[in-house]
Structure 1
Amino acid sequence: MTNTTIDETELNELLGRFVNDLGATGAAGNIVIGDRLGLYRALAEAGPLTAVELAEYTGTVERYVREWLRGQAAGKLVSYRPETDQYWMTPAQALAFADPNGLVLPGAFQMALACFDDRDAIIDRFHSGRGFAWGEHGDDVAVGCERFFRPGYVANLVSSWLPAVDGLIERLDRGITVADVGCGLGSSTRILAETYPASTVIGYDNDSGSIELARKLTAEAGLGDTVEFAVAAAADFTASGLGLVATFDCLHDMGDPVGAARHIRSTLADDGVWLIVEPYAGDVVADNLTPVGRLYYSLSIFLCVPHAISEGASDALGNQAGEQPIARVIEEAGFGRFRRVTETPFNIVYEARP
């Protein structure tokens, strides 16, 4: 290395990215703090506020709040008025960080920080090759994941994903039986049940803790009589004659995706359809060297790959598998039709038919 010529421009660009990355890492904990203490909500409700006023409004200590506010303003997560030393939130900032029915971006940081709490276990897996299941993480992983993914499901599931499948909306309106496989805490399950009351919706997940939380959230939403949940894996849930099976962001987590796909095919009615929603990804690594790809690869090493290995995967798909590996799974499972029906910047949606 002592004889290596360093490209100063490249080094400076790398250091610039380092500062941004370290700043974002430092901000993550403060975002979760602001979310848990209601600081964002308070600013959105009552701002502009000084640090003293925000501390009084939230029952917190001014000196901590003052430092927190300055860091948030530096990251442009809240806005600052230097002439009055007040802080406030624009409508976009409030939608992203303060509105429980908005983008709920703090949920992503809640999930990420909880993942990082298990870094020693993941480091061990690099040596041992063993898996680490979703249920082995703390509750903040599942809760943060549900909070992060729910706005995307609210925005897209009914308005674009389901209508992209020919004839599906009409059948849901008339009434079919739907299995939401790998449902986690049940956000997608509740959306389906609430939107299509004539249909029967069952949520399955192999993590009993997630199912317990799904039932609790469903009861709190007043939907306890309209949705059923059960602990079961994608390869052995008990159902038949299904009009729709949906897997949202979870096929790549499965230890035996082909086996799961074969079972799903066996549960479908002759005119049934499998709706497959997966993270956005290209088919080759070079396609995924993007900000979205970086996010997904980083989370995959803590969540998706270890979980699939915990279920017996010898070569886990990972959340950046891309369309061709998914197509191969569907083909090996014996489906007669597979196609991409729509996409967003974060997801690709496929349909498979027997």
Structure 2
Amino acid sequence: MAIDGNKLQELINKMFGDVGAAMGSALVMLGDKFGFYKTLAADGPMTSAELASKTGTVERYVREWAAAQAAAGYINYDAASGRFSISPEQALVLADENGPAFFPAMYEIVAATLRDEPKVANAFRKGGGVGWHEHDPCLFHGTERFFRPGYAMHLVSEWIPALDGVREKLERGARVADVGCGHGASVTLMAKAFPKSKFFGFDYHQPSIDRAREIAREAGVAERCTFERATAKEFPGTFDLVAFFDCLHDMGDPVGAAAHVKSALAKDGTWMVVEPFGNDRIEDNLNPVGRVFYAASTMICVPGSLSQEVGLGLGTQAGETRLTEVLKAGGFTRVRRATATPFNLILEARP
């Protein structure tokens, strides 16, 4: 088979760039850990020696780190002054942990996929899966830090208002369950916004439940937030709103989970299902967002589902049609797309 030299070079160039990005993942984590980005954002242009002095680190390492980050376009270098700087746009993405586009947390998730590769490789060979609790702890920390800004931007202001009559219920006072709550970022956001309502977070992962309780205390909403260890098919109580944030596709038996949600809803209750945005066909997901989601699905989400009972393995790119089928198979007759973002699909389900 004849080789097209131009296509070959194009692929090599692309992969070389990808290797640089992959090797740079550790550097982003170091920049986040030692506060390099935040220091540059707060104190302006500085030499590597000044940055090292400000952060209590060793200059020779900082110099190499800063040069690599400048080569990546993550920070800037001025040859005349020998100083490194960070632009407002770069700072928003790399230094503002409460901003709408904080990315260093995503690199923690990347690190988890690399550290857990042997476990996933074993599942490739022998079947089965890798449970959420079996992953490197940086996955749990990175997930909470990465998803929290997006929830802060959209959940209270856009997603809940898109549900029929739900915001009014929460303002009057309602019971809300957040299933698969992780570290409870979404619970805390809702509790702050709706002080007359009570919130219950459920997750099968006890360390996440413990951390969620800490975050709720720090946010001053612990008296209205209860966190318990429970699965999606076993959580107790009756609720006006049940929410699943980016977790339905991770479940081994999402149909069984849907059936349990239906039994846990109060009369005229609502189930809000937030999932990664995906089109129904593979060919429509072959884009930068799909690339990240399929990779996460391969290393985290599908192994998680296949480690459980049934092991349906929906994956992050299940798409609206497949998700709707799952919800209806669990007993819901009214399912609609309430709203969407480039990264999220929000479904409203009613019995």
Band the TM-score falls in, shorter-chain normalisation? over 0.9
Of 47, 51, 74, which aligns to 2:48? 51
Query: Shift in Å at residue 49 of structure 1?
Result: 0.5
Q: Select which of 86, 103, 109 maps to 2:83.
A: 86
Alignment of 1:291 with 2:288, yes or no, is yes
**Matched ranges for 1:207-246 at <5 A:** 207-240=205-238, 242-246=239-243
Pairing 1:172-187 to 2, within 5 Å after superposition = 172-187=170-185
Sequence identity, in percent? 46
Equivalent positions of 1:252-267 (< 5 A) are: 252-267=249-264
Matches of 1:172 and 1:254 in 2, distance apart? 27
Partner of 1:312: 309
Query: 2:136 matched to which residue of 1?
Result: 138
Aligned 8 A contact 2:93 2:102 in 1: yes
Matched ranges for 1:93-242 at <5 A: 93-102=90-99, 103-240=101-238, 242=239
- What SS class does the counterpart of residue 31 from structure 1 fall into? helix
How far apart are 1:144 and its partner, in Å?
Answer: 0.3
Deviation at 1:285, TM superposition (A): 0.7
**TM-score (ref. length: structure 1):** 0.97
Alignment check: 8 A CA contact 1:254 1:313 kept: no
Q: Secondary structure at the match of 1:225?
A: helix
The CA RMSD over aligned residues, in Å, is 1.0
Number of the residue aligned with 1:347: 344
Determine the C-alpha separation between the residues in 1 that align with 2:235 and 2:245.
16
Mapped partners of 1:16, 1:340: distance in 2: 40
Distance in 1 of aligned mates of 2:171 and 2:197: 7
Deviation at 1:208, TM superposition (A): 0.9
1:73 corresponds to? 70
Deviation string for 1:246-301 (max 9, x for gaps)?
A: 00000000110000000001111121100010001010111111110110110111
Aligned counterpart, 1:26: 23
1:323 and 2:286 are equivalent in the alignment: no
Q: Shift of the alpha carbon at 1:138?
A: 2.3
Deviation at 1:219, TM superposition (A): 1.9
* CA deviation after TM superposition for structure 1 residue 227, in Å: 1.0
- 1:279–1:348 CA contact under 8 A, matched in 2: yes
Any conservation in 1 of the 2:244–2:273 contact (CA below 8 Å)? yes
Normalised by the length of structure 2, the TM-score is 0.98
Distance in 2, matches of 1:60 and 1:313, equals: 50
CA distance in 1, matches of 2:248, 2:91: 33
SS in 2 for 1:73: helix
Whole-Å Cα distance in 2 between the matches of residues 313 and 302 of structure 1? 19
Q: Secondary structure at the match of 1:84?
A: coil
Distance 2:254 2:73 in 1: 42
Q: How many residues align?
A: 350
2:329 aligned partner? 332
- Three-state SS of the structure 1 residue aligned to 2:215 is helix
CA distance in 1, matches of 2:229, 2:136: 18
Q: CA deviation at 1:115?
A: 2.3
Paired AA for residue 152 in structure 1: G
Contact conserved, 2:251 with 2:311, CA < 8 A, in 1? no
CA offset digits 1:27-64 (Å, max 9, x no partner): 10100011001111111111200001101111111111
Q: Deviations over 1:300-351 (max 9, x none)?
A: 1121111111112343101110011111111111112000111111111110
**Unpaired runs of 5+ in structure 2?**
none
Task: Please give the alpha-carbon distance, in whole angstroms, between the structure 2 residues aligned to 1:221 and 1:160.
Answer: 22
